Amino acid sequence: MEDLEHIKYAKNVLSQRDFEELQEYIGDDVDYWPSYNFKPKDVPPRNKIEKAIVKLIGQDNHVEYWIRNPRGQEPTLWHVDANELFMKKYISENDSPEEPQFARQFPLNTHILYISVDPKMEGGELLILPNNTYVEGRPINDTNYQPMDSSRMLIVKPKENHLVFFNKPIYHATNEYKNIDPLRRDFRVSLMFSSWDYIPKPYDEWHHWNNPWVGIPAEQLKWPKGA
Ligand SMILES: [Fe+2]
């Protein structure tokens, strides 16, 4: 992938040893981990994920991080990375999927590090619209967003230990991941992290959260024991 000013792509960002250790630590059952996590800059790394993040980007900023494994069925729709936890917590508390306008707070950047990619994966590419920044007034998880046919699109095939970086709220999505072998447990595990120059709500209260929604109350979680 070519480099643009606000989008970078880097191969083998961690040493082989550090990467394998991280890969083993994260595993492929991402439900094991809290959905939304935060490390303030003045808190030293408390687990292997935070250690890897600090190795990659240092500790100049606060960091939000999350792990995902879109297995099989649903593609990730067009969205911009924003204060998604705040938005979902609000949705849960108000019992309505209407996104609050005032929760549209954006991090300084987004990093996507591919942890484990099934060598037989079909689909699952990351789609980035480099010139399409957040449209004021629209939701951040934008089910109706349709890029114009002329919008430039970058297509990234996930590769282990490769990292994608962008530092503008640009629209991105992932392609459907086709399960080519129904008997296997396919995986496409990625670690995302974003720098923040302040501590957004509700991370000022707690650092590890579930994935709240209508009917699912926001929950403060403990980092898994022994991890
Ligand atoms: Fe995203």
Q: How far is the CA of 135 from the CAs of 82, 110, 111, in angstroms? A: 13, 18, 21
Residue 123 DSSP SS3? strand
* Cα–Cα distance, 74 to 150 (Å, whole number): 25
DSSP letters along 11-31, please? Answer: S--S-HHHHHHHHHHH-S-GG
Supply the pTM of this predicted model: 0.94
Give the CATH number of the domain where residue 172 resides: 2.60.120
Q: Are 13 and 161 in contact (CB under 8 A)?
A: yes
| β-strand pairing of 126-133 with 170-174 | antiparallel
Q: How confident is the model at residue 86 (pLDDT cuts 50, 70, 90)?
A: very high
Domain assignment present for 220: no
Tell me the pLDDT tens digit for each residue of 18-74: 999 999 999 988 999 999 999 999 999 999 999 999 999 999 999 999 999 876 557
Residue 177 Cα to ligand 1 midpoint, Å, equals: 16
Q: Are 126 and 164 in contact (CB under 8 A)?
A: yes
* Cα–Cα distance, 75 to 174 (Å, whole number): 6
Q: Which domain holds residue 125?
A: 7-209
Residue 82 Cα to ligand 1 midpoint, Å, equals: 8
Residue 114 Cα to ligand 1 midpoint, Å, equals: 13
* Structure token digits, residue 142: 């934008």
Tell me the pLDDT tens digit for each residue of 150-204: 889 999 999 999 999 999 999 999 998 876 666 666 689 999 999 999 999 999 9
Residue 216 DSSP SS3? strand
The total of other beta-carbon atoms located within 10 Å of residue 154's CB is: 19
Residue 81 Cα to ligand 1 midpoint, Å, equals: 5
Domain assignment present for 216: no
Domain assignment present for 75: yes
Domain assignment present for 183: yes
Domain assignment present for 171: yes
Q: How many domains does the chain have?
A: 1
Residue 32 DSSP SS3? helix
Number of residues assigned to the chain: 227
Domain assignment present for 37: yes
Residue 112 Cα to ligand 1 midpoint, Å, equals: 9
Domain assignment present for 225: no
Domain assignment present for 144: yes
Average pLDDT, rounded, for the chain: 92
